[in-house]
Amino acid sequence: MSGSHYFTSDPDAVSERREITVTLPDISLELTTDAGVFSRGKLDPGTRVLLEHAPPPRVRGPILDLGCGYGPIALTWASRRKRSAVWGVDVNSRALDLLTLNAQNLKLGNVQAALPDDVPQDLVFGSIYSNPPIRVGKAVMHEMMHRWLGRLAPEGSAFLVVQRNLGADSFMKWLNDQGYPTTRFTSVNGFRILEAHPRPDGAGSDTGRGTS
């Protein structure tokens, strides 16, 4: 059943679309989900922590939802910041189709769904919000961070939610060791929200390879 994992490019799970409601303190979204995408039945607890406790963007600029799935992060920020371009990036083609459908249904014209290699090479993001796929393994995760933290504006921030029991603290240490200034923004219900910044010298930029 490996082909049905949400982090594969073309899930083989039989399509079974359903509607869910994402209710946050400031917004409620009716979203379509499907088999073969992350947390299709309800909003993932880590994603909820991120959406309810991460701060607004520190600087202006496009917003990136890295590993967007069916789009709860991208669509929430597109609703909160209707004048900002919001990109949802994922390797899962079914997830990208759902993000596009949900954006259309919500009449959010500021959302763009894209595969990692389809993001313009010169696009710089003001903010990244992500519930990263820790379970894909350290090698893939590290490659993702090198690639996408290098796409942040110099004063930009990436807000990453990671479960404490899945190595949030060691992940933060790795980011700092790699030269990405990273702090724990807050801890809620066993999840850490980490705030990471690009390397001061820009050495982390690697836009030519990696995955979402």
Is residue 134 included in any domain, yes or no?
yes
Q: At 33, which amino acid appears?
A: T
pLDDT at 204 > cutoff 70: no
- Number of structural domains, the chain? 1
Residue 68's domain spans which residues? 2-10+42-196
Is residue 97 included in any domain, yes or no?
yes
Is residue 20 included in any domain, yes or no?
no
Q: Kindly indicate the confidence band of residue 47, based on its pLDDT and cuts at 50, 70 and 90.
A: very high
Which of 55, 89, 48, 67 has the alpha carbon at shortest distance from 159? 55
Higher-confidence position of 165 and 206: 165
SS3 86: strand
Phi and psi for 170 in degrees, rounded to 5? -70, -30
Is residue 74 included in any domain, yes or no?
yes
Is residue 205 included in any domain, yes or no?
no
DSSP class per residue in 16-72: --EEEEEEETTEEEEEEE-TTSTT-SS--HHHHHHHHHSPPPSSSS-EEEET-TTSH
Residues 1-20: tens digit of each pLDDT: 233 444 555 555 788 899 99
Residues 98-138: tens digit of each pLDDT: 999 999 999 999 999 999 999 999 999 999 999 998 878 88
Is residue 95 included in any domain, yes or no?
yes
CA 179/CA 56 separation, integer angstroms: 24
Is residue 131 included in any domain, yes or no?
yes
What's the CATH number where 62 sits? 3.40.50.150
Q: pTM of the prediction?
A: 0.89
